[in-house]
Amino acid sequence: MGTPLGGGGTDNTMNQPATTRPLTIGVLALQGAYEAHAQALTTLGATARLVRLPADLAGLDGLIMPGGESTTMLKFLERLDFFDTLQDFVSATPTFGTCAGAILLARNVEHPAQKSLGVLDITVERNAYGRQIDSTILTAPTSLPGGPLEMVFIRAPRITRTGSHVEILATRDGFPVLVREGHLLAATFHPELSADTRIHQLFIDIIRQQSSPSL
């Protein structure tokens, strides 16, 4: 018996728990580096769906908010009347923000101050590394299994405060660069630009774990 592609049907795969069935993960595609995220998800066996409108969020198991320019993304979100729907979605569904996406998830944004979705209990300082050394590739230790991790920073923000429930998974010069709080994951670098898929795999693991908290 074939696998139904969607709609109707009591054996629709969407009705199976996210612990085992193939996942459909959205990538916010208003602006920025979304294609490489979609590619990384596909490599890991998930289905990637580009999200351009509020309706595109329906039925997703998780969402990646890519790097780019957070101010521009905010303008699109407001113009499309998308901000409130996205805020509700990320409050309840696994979401991974990278760079500008991490800025959008943060509770507080500084330098300059900017509106955000406010769901992840961190403070970020935008463009914190100065003009000359603002884009760099480092290999640094991480608490993830598999040894040191390559990190591509592009006009990166710096996480200057983490709430007590935020777990720090990697640092640069003593500042967190990869953090997790429950169903939310954020990186100030661009994991989609490295060949190492451990961070995207971690996000997939978080989605499966969240749908079955007893695991």
Is residue 37 near ligand GLN by the rule CB under 6 A? no
Considering beta carbons, is residue 23 or 63 the nearer one to ligand GLN? 63
Is residue 110 near ligand GLN by the rule CB under 6 A? no
Q: Which amino acid is at 12?
A: N
Is residue 161 near ligand GLN by the rule CB under 6 A? no
Containing H/E element for 206? helix 198-211
Rounded CA-CA distance 80/214 in Å is 38
Beta strand 167-172 pairing with 47-51: unpaired
Rounded to a whole number of angstroms, the minimum distance from the CB of residue 14 to ligand GLN is 32
Shortest CA distance to 87 belongs to which of 55, 119, 126, 57? 119
Rounded to a whole number of angstroms, the minimum distance from the CB of residue 33 to ligand GLN is 7
Collapsing DSSP states into helix, strand and coil, what is residue 173? coil
Set 99, 125, 181, 200: catalytic member: 99
Is residue 95 near ligand GLN by the rule CB under 6 A? no
Considering beta carbons, is residue 18 or 100 the nearer one to ligand GLN? 100
Considering beta carbons, is residue 11 or 173 the nearer one to ligand GLN? 173
Alpha carbon distance, N-terminus to C-terminus of the chain: 30
Binding residue for ligand GLN (CB under 6 A) from 107, 155, 161, 198? 155
Shortest CA distance to 67 belongs to which of 181, 185, 187? 187
Question: Which residues in 122-141 contact ligand GLN (CB under 6 A)?
Answer: 126-127
Rounded CA-CA distance 122/124 in Å is 6
Residues in contact with ligand GLN by the rule CB under 6 A: 67-70, 99-100, 103, 126-127, 154-155
Residues acting as catalytic residues: 99, 190, 192
